[in-house]
Amino acid sequence: MQVDIRDRPSFANMLVQMQPGDRIIAEAGAMASRSASISMSTRWSGGVFRAILKRIFGSESLFVNEFTAESPGHLVLTQPYPGDIVCLELTGNTMFLQPGAFIACEPGVSLGLGWAGIRSFIAREGAFRLKVTGHGRVWFGAYGAIFTKDVVGEYVVDSGHLVAYEPTVGIRVALAGGIFSSFFSGEGIVTRVHGQGKVYLQSRSFGGLVAWTNAHLY
């Protein structure tokens, strides 16, 4: 199965070239188009109870679609907002995704929901996170461009920009600076990522878009 990510970074979408027997699991609603030879089946995302939890706390859909190629064909997957998509190859390791980031994965990858903690909640990164683990490729998206940072030690990320991170990094909530600069710099609370591991960041944040839009509504 060959996957090309096209039209990056603003309007990225996945062109999945499938051979007979190839399978890919995608978030419900992610499909833009597909060859008629590719069949689709829909199931609960990890069982009814887990699917409901993922819907409520992980901003994911209740259902996932499994696409199977009966003869060669292609499938186009996309995400609901403008931004980049990246592929991550899991080799038995784990990655945490922020709610709503997941787009698709290969069948060897399992998708769970984990408690991210009070710190993450205060940092406006969500109290829960999606946990992807296993063997295979995972595709996830972000709002804006995606860039990575190999953290060794400590790194500061503004709230709302963290998309994915390895379980080897921890998250601390902190003020962006002193009391004055934190409140008047527009940065407020930031996330201090510490430890050793890779983090994926998005160049735009939904919170920033919402604030900007609201500021122009009145």
Partner 1 sequence: MPDPNRTFHGGVFHDSIPGGRSGAKIQLRRNEIVAEATCEGEPFFSLPFDDCDLDLGGASGRMVFCRDPEKTLTIFCEERGFMDELRDGSYGVLAPQLDQLTRLRKGETHRFHFWVIASTLLLTAICVGGYFGLMAGAKAAVKAVPISVDERIGGMAMQSLMLEERLDDNHPATVLVRQIVDKLKPHSAIPDMNFRVAVIKSDQVNAFAVPGGQMCVYTGLIKKAKSPEQIAGVIAHEMSHATLRHGLRAAGQSLGIIAAIQVMIGDVGGLVALGSQVAQQSILTSYSRGAETEADLEGARMLHDAKIDPKAMADFFELLKSEMGDIPGIAVWISSHPQHADRVNNIMKFQFGLPETDYQKLELDLKAAQDALQ
CB of 73 to partner 1, least distance (A): 28
Type and span of the H or E element at 56: helix 48-57
The number of beta carbons lying within 10 Å of the beta carbon of residue 23 is 14
Cβ proximity to partner 1: between 74 and 177 the closer is 177
Nearer to partner 1, 48 or 211 (CB): 211
Q: Which is nearer to partner 1, 67 or 200 (CB)?
A: 200
Q: What minimum distance in Å lies between the beta carbon of 27 and partner 1?
A: 23
Instruction: Compute the least distance from the CB of residue 75 to partner 1, in Å.
Output: 26
2 versus 183: smaller Cβ distance to partner 1: 183
For partner 1, the binding residues (CB under 8 A) are 89-94, 96, 116, 118-119, 133, 135, 150, 165-171, 188, 194-198, 210-211, 213-215, 217-218
Q: How far is the CB of 125 from partner 1 (least distance, A)?
A: 11
Cβ distance to partner 1 smaller for residue 21 or 213: 213
Q: Where are the alpha helices (DSSP H) in 101-194?
A: 118-122, 179-184
What residues contact 182, with CB distance under 8 A and at least 6 apart?
A: 175, 176, 188, 189
Q: Are 74 and 15 in contact (CB under 8 A)?
A: yes
Cβ proximity to partner 1, 67 vs 165, nearer residue:
165
Residue 75 has φ and ψ, to the nearest 5°, of -140, 135
Distance CA 123, CA 187 (A): 12
Min separation Cβ 132 and partner 1, Å: 12
Shortest gap between Cβ of 208 and partner 1 (angstroms)?
A: 10
